[in-house]
Amino acid sequence: MRRRCLAAGMFLGLAMGAAATDAPMAGGEAASLQRADRIKTSNHAEFVQILHRLEQERARLPPEQQSYLRYLEAWQVAYAGDYERASSQLGAVIGQSDDPVLRVRALATLVNILGVGHRYEEAFARMSQMLEQLPRIDDKAVRYQALGEAAQLLIAAGQYELAVGYADQMLADLPPGESACKAMFFKLHARYRSGEAREPDAVFQEGVDTCVKAGEILVANAMRADVAALDMRRGRVADAIALLEKNYADVRRDQYPSLTAQVDGLLAQAYWTQGNVEKSEHFAHAVIDNGIKGEYTEPLSQAYEVLYRIARQRGDFPAALAWHEKYMAADKGYLDDVGARTLAYQMVRQQVQARKEQVDALNKQNQILQLQQALDRKAVETSRLYIVLLLTVLGFIALWLYRLKRSQLRFMRLARRDGLTGIYNRQHFVAEAEQALAYARRSARGASLVLLDLDHFKQINDSHGHAVGDQVLKQAVAVCQQHLRSTDIFGRLGGEEFGILLPECPIDQVLARAERIRREIEALSGDGHDSVVTASLGVASTARSGYELRQLLVDADAALYRAKRAGRNRVVSGHADAEDCAAAG
């Protein structure tokens, strides 16, 4: 059976199934259906056993119970990872069931499956449709499920404030017998993904305890994964490893692919940070071995990066190059997917708004027509009022179309830019650099790549907080921009690492410019804070590395690594036979 790793922020969708419906159902089969519904995630093995037994009795069930059973079967198929078959089965439930509550439940589950299948525009369209129907649903359990699906889909699209709002609605109107576990997870996960949560506070522990008490171990472990990630951000790597290893057996037992991949990826990173190469390599391979070919996720990208760094540390450069190529492909695929989610949300939001505006415009046109009929019976001068009103409405429609187009263009620009610094994000930097290198190859012109990494940046964040760290990043970007031409391509590759592609710039000029950038970044030390700010730079050019971006990145990264190893705060070229180093004066 085919499984997929779900995107970060969406992997608990199938754990959000509402509790058994309150609709009256007589007979032992009805009680079994409701029992199965209640324990889908808390006792999944028994749930599967009940379904298997009811399938043997299908012909004896009344129509409403057969629809209920088809929904639970579709849920199980989706949980096991066969989303195509599950979508078909859910579509049958939505189209054939006479129960509006069951149709909304099936629609909510379908929203999650569409998101998992990367059909984001359709997922957000279905979410909008589901939320429109929700005010007509009185069943608290179904409302809880639908709000949960909306919250997690919005987290995946980066709409954290909206997601927190839906989670708060869930907490304010808990169904009978339902704990606050899942609603707390969505709210805390949104805080973690947005960066608002700097470290795991007492609320996170309260959330874990609530889920454990409710028997929702899968959700509790998802929350623990966020706690471990926050611990790693604060440098408490040992605490993160202890937490993940303590609950690793439960994670493996639940067999939920996305959570397993997330935990394996975190352990691979944590053990690498500790210097335990053997365990780091083991967990990185676990992420890859349990993944699906062609499916790019954040844990997969992290695993390839860890294996690349391990191979480079061992001096196995062919293996390092191979892992780096896979890392670049996985990272680009994951970032493309993140951008697709955000863009799909904005597009559907614009479409929904457009439909609303069209309905409003039609209503206004109808009012104008009614007014025209009335005015036709009055004096000619009175008809001028109709003309003024008509021109006003037409002007309103034209203004709305202009604002809609401008908004769409703005969303396209945002998808290409790093939110903090305003320069290209990694995804767009890679795309622009590849185009520039293709042109350079055709025209037989050279180009150079500079990788810049701020030294000991984590210490700045830990000592002075992320606000000071963000200020340092912005200042470093401003320094670089002072030395760039309009043809140069500048982007943030992640964290404190930046890339600069300089077309038609000889290597000696590139090194001179890189050295000036290094000196001016060093001069930022003490500028509004007491931190020492320095940068290490690695340089590669097409003269030695060729025109493939991945090879330029590997060579520039190797030069950057030598700069770090030689003491940091220096420029190192990947071109000289011996290390060509411009150290800090």
C-alpha dihedral (314, 315, 319, 323), degrees to nearest 10: 70
Q: For position 412, what pLDDT does the model report?
A: 56
| Residue % of the chain over a pLDDT of 90 | 35
**Domain contains 3:** no
SS3 22: coil
**Domain contains 175:** yes
Domain boundary among 414, 441, 464: 414
Q: For position 385, what pLDDT does the model report?
A: 67
CATH code of 541's domain: 3.30.70.270
Q: d(Cα 540, Cα 492) in Å, to the nearest integer?
A: 18
Same domain, residue pair 432 and 368: no
Sheet (strand 570-573) strand order: 489-494, 497-503, 447-454, 535-541, 570-573, 580-583
Residue 446 has pLDDT above 60, yes or no: yes
Same domain, residue pair 390 and 528: no
Does 204 or 578 have the greater pLDDT score? 204
Q: d(Cα 28, Cα 403) in Å, to the nearest integer?
A: 59
Same domain, residue pair 510 and 559: yes
Q: For position 265, what pLDDT does the model report?
A: 93
Among 485, 480, 456, which Cα is nearest to 469's?
456
φ, ψ for residue 506 (rounded to 5)?
A: -55, 155
Same domain, residue pair 370 and 498: no
Q: Which of 315-324, 378-387, 538-547 has the lowest mean pLDDT?
A: 378-387
Alpha-carbon 29 to chain mean position: 41
Does 500 or 193 have the greater pLDDT score? 500
Instruction: Say if residues 79 and 6 touch (Cβ distance below 8 Å).
Output: no
DSSP per residue, 412-437: HHHTTB-TTT-SB-HHHHHHHHHHHH
CATH code of 128's domain: 1.25.40.10
Q: For position 101, what pLDDT does the model report?
A: 87
Owner of token pair 């190893």: 565
**Domain contains 406:** yes
Owner of token pair 């070229």: 573
Same domain, residue pair 378 and 516: no
Q: What are the pLDDT digits (tens) for 501-542?
A: 999 999 999 999 999 999 999 988 766 666 789 999 999 999
**Domain contains 298:** no
Same domain, residue pair 155 and 184: yes
Q: For position 275, what pLDDT does the model report?
A: 93
Domain boundary among 172, 196, 220: 196
Alpha-carbon 18 to chain mean position: 25
Q: d(Cα 280, Cα 304) in Å, to the nearest integer?
A: 11
Among 445, 431, 340, which Cα is nearest to 124's?
340
Same domain, residue pair 45 and 154: yes
- Does the pTM exceed 0.95? no
Q: What is the mean pLDDT of the chain?
A: 82
Domain boundary among 353, 383, 414: 414
Same domain, residue pair 22 and 118: yes
Q: d(Cα 131, Cα 146) in Å, to the nearest integer?
A: 7
Q: What are the pLDDT digits (tens) for 215-270?
A: 889 999 999 999 999 998 888 999 999 999 999 998 888 877 888 889 999 999 99
Q: Which of 285-299, 389-403, 563-577 has the lowest mean pLDDT?
A: 389-403
Same domain, residue pair 448 and 567: yes
Structural domain that includes position 348: 336-414
Which whole-number Å values give the CA distances from 502 to 427, 448, 486, in the listed order?
A: 18, 5, 10
Q: What are the pLDDT digits (tens) for 143-181?
A: 898 898 888 888 888 888 888 999 999 999 898 888 899
**Domain contains 286:** no
Residue 25 has pLDDT above 50, yes or no: no
Q: Long-range contacts of range 247-253, CB-CB < 8 Å, 24 or more positions apart?
A: 247/220, 247/221, 250/217, 250/221, 251/221
Q: Count Cβ neighbours within 10 Å for each residue of 524-555 and write b for 16 or more, e otherwise.
A: beeeebebebbbbbbbbbbeebebebbbbbbb
Same domain, residue pair 126 and 62: yes
